[in-house]
């Protein structure tokens, strides 16, 4: 069986992402702790380097996308200054918004972030994807699944339904494995402000 140059590049990118993803155990060894602030319609997670006076080395923020009849959270912004921290933050955000699904920023997505979404779609058996339609009902006649598809269209043009950015994701089992692991290690503080006025 011959592998094309395009297939080889894809395999290399996927391998690098898989090998580059930081585990919770590695985060603990690097003296990183996490702070998760949950509001009714937003979540922010910060990664702090505790041996450097709690300097933020990464963060991810998501907001509930306004919709009349369904609940999907979208990434608002993210940044990671340590190798492999980005994928760990994305996994943690999927857990934070569970049982609702998480989707990419609806307007713009960096190449690093797109690799994470591609990995969820193509390589994570524990993650399920949910196809989202566009506001024009291109895929389905109902409005329940209608969300902006600007980022998917920017990356894939008319083939946007095939893009990892056109979907929302959640852990298949309904569990929160990354959050549970970090809580078990005692390296995450969760501040839940949903019940406050």
Output the tens digit of pLDDT for each of the chain's 197 residues.
Answer: 677 776 655 555 544 444 468 999 999 999 999 999 999 999 999 999 998 788 999 999 999 998 877 899 999 999 999 999 999 999 999 999 999 999 999 999 999 999 999 999 999 999 999 999 999 999 999 999 999 999 999 999 999 999 999 999 999 988 999 999 999 999 999 998 877 55
Write the CB contacts of 36 (distance below 8 Å, at least 6 apart in sequence): 43, 44, 45, 92, 96, 179, 188, 189, 190, 191
Rounded Cα–Cα distance for residues 48 and 124 (Å): 27
| Residue 14, in any domain of the structure | no
Q: Please report, for the domain that includes residue 44, its CATH number.
A: 3.40.630
| Residue 78, in any domain of the structure | yes
Find the domain containing 188 and state its range: 22-192
| Residue 47, in any domain of the structure | yes
DSSP type of residue 57: E
Kind of pairing between the strands at 32-38 and 188-192 = parallel
| Residue 164, in any domain of the structure | yes
| Residue 27, in any domain of the structure | yes
Number of domains, the chain: 1
| Residue 8, in any domain of the structure | no
Rounded Cα–Cα distance for residues 47 and 145 (Å): 32
| Residue 26, in any domain of the structure | yes
Residue with the two structure tokens 């919709």: 67
| Residue 74, in any domain of the structure | yes
């Amino acid at each position: 069986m011959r592998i094309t140059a395009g297939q080889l590049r894809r395999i290399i990118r996927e391998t690098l992402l898989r090998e580059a993803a930081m585990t919770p155990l590695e985060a603990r060894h690097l003296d990183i702790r996490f702070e998760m602030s949950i509001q009714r319609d937003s979540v922010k997670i910060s990664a702090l380097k505790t041996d450097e006076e709690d300097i933020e080395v990464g963060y991810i923020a998501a907001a509930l996308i306004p919709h009349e009849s369904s609940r999907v959270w979208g990434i608002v912004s993210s940044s990671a200054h340590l190798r492999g921290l980005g994928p760990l933050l994305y996994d943690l955000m999927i857990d934070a918004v569970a049982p609702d699904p998480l989707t990419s920023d609806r307007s713009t997505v960096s190449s690093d972030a797109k690799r994470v979404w591609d990995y969820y779609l193509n390589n994570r058996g524990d993650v399920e994807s949910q196809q989202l339609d566009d506001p024009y009902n291109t895929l389905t006649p109902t409005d329940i699944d209608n969300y902006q598809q600007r980022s998917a269209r920017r990356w894939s043009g008319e083939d946007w339904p095939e893009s990892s950015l056109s979907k929302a994701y959640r852990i298949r089992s309904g569990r929160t494995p990354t959050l549970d692991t970090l809580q078990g290690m005692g390296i995450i503080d969760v501040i839940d402000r949903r019940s406050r006025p």
